[in-house]
Structure 1
Amino acid sequence: MLKDDYIMRMINEMIHAVLVLLLGKDSENGEKLELPEVTEDNTFQKLIAMAGEGQINEAENMLWDLLEDNEIKYFQMALLFYDYLNDLDDDVLEQGDFSREEIADGLARVMKLYGYEDMARTFLI
């Protein structure tokens, strides 16, 4: 449990750092960072809905198909997706056959894809 709490905290810290430092997003009063709708076709909302229904792996696969385009909006979408997953209870993740380690691994892969592997290593290792 402590390990999961630590991983959860590190994921949150990394996502916050990337949004603030690299993408210029910030929140006031320490509130949770949120980005405006990332795509016009509600793809992000579909990913979140799938994950919420326990189809986490399927949603992640759909996300990775989008990431092949290497557009910044999909980088933002990936950060928000993994942030959403990170906020789920361990039981919900387990029911979706997912873990905190898989969230960290997916996030590290996204960071590497967009050229921020060193930053991911700083937070996640």
Structure 2
Amino acid sequence: MLYSDEKDYIMRMIKEVARVLFSLMLGKKYVQVELEDENKYEVSGKKLGDYKAMVDRGEINEAENLLLDEIDYDSNEEVAAALLFYQYVSQKGQEFLKQHNYSEEEVLEGMQQLARNAGYGEACDILEQVES
């Protein structure tokens, strides 16, 4: 697989994992436009926007660690906030991520681990089989 093909594959997987998990959690087809009001999403009282601000400052690993330390995996709202966090990180671009010691592969791994911890691991396993 060529390097660019590998990156396209990772981005497709990130989008597909997000789509499937949102659909499972919310019980309806995932449409990005429906989630524009992201201010309502939080993890243990901390707004998604606070985590995004940390990402914008290049504190990606710190934001991820804080988010994962605080998340209640039984709360669909908090899991949705974490998915939106990973989706936001994935949109920052490869160069930005590299400058801040992060990668698209870590985004995908984080989303998959989140899904497993929230009880949706089988969905990720199926997606991996379909994409292979």
Find 1:108's aligned residue among 104, 112, 116.
Answer: 112
TM-score (norm 1): 0.84
Work out whether residues 20 and 123 of structure 2, in 8 Å CA contact, stay in contact via their aligned partners in 1.
no
Corresponding position of 1:7: 10
User: 1:124 offset after TM fit, Å?
Assistant: 4.0
Query: Structure 2 length as normaliser, TM-score?
Result: 0.80
Q: How many pairs were matched up? A: 121
Counterpart in the other structure of 1:118? 122
Q: Which residue of 2 aligns with 1:16?
A: 19
1:61 aligns with 2:89: no
Paired amino acid for 1:43: K
Q: In 2, Cα distance between the equivalents of 1:124 and 1:83?
A: 18
* Counterparts of 1:24 and 1:55, CA distance in 2: 33
Residues 11 and 124, structure 1, Cα contact 8 Å, conserved in 2: no
- Contiguous gaps of at least 5 residues in structure 2: none
Specify whether residues 52 and 124 from structure 1 end up closer, same or farther in structure 2 by C-alpha distance, changes over 3 A only.
farther
Match of 1:86 in 2: 90
Aligned residues of 2:89 and 2:107 also touching (Cα < 8 A): yes
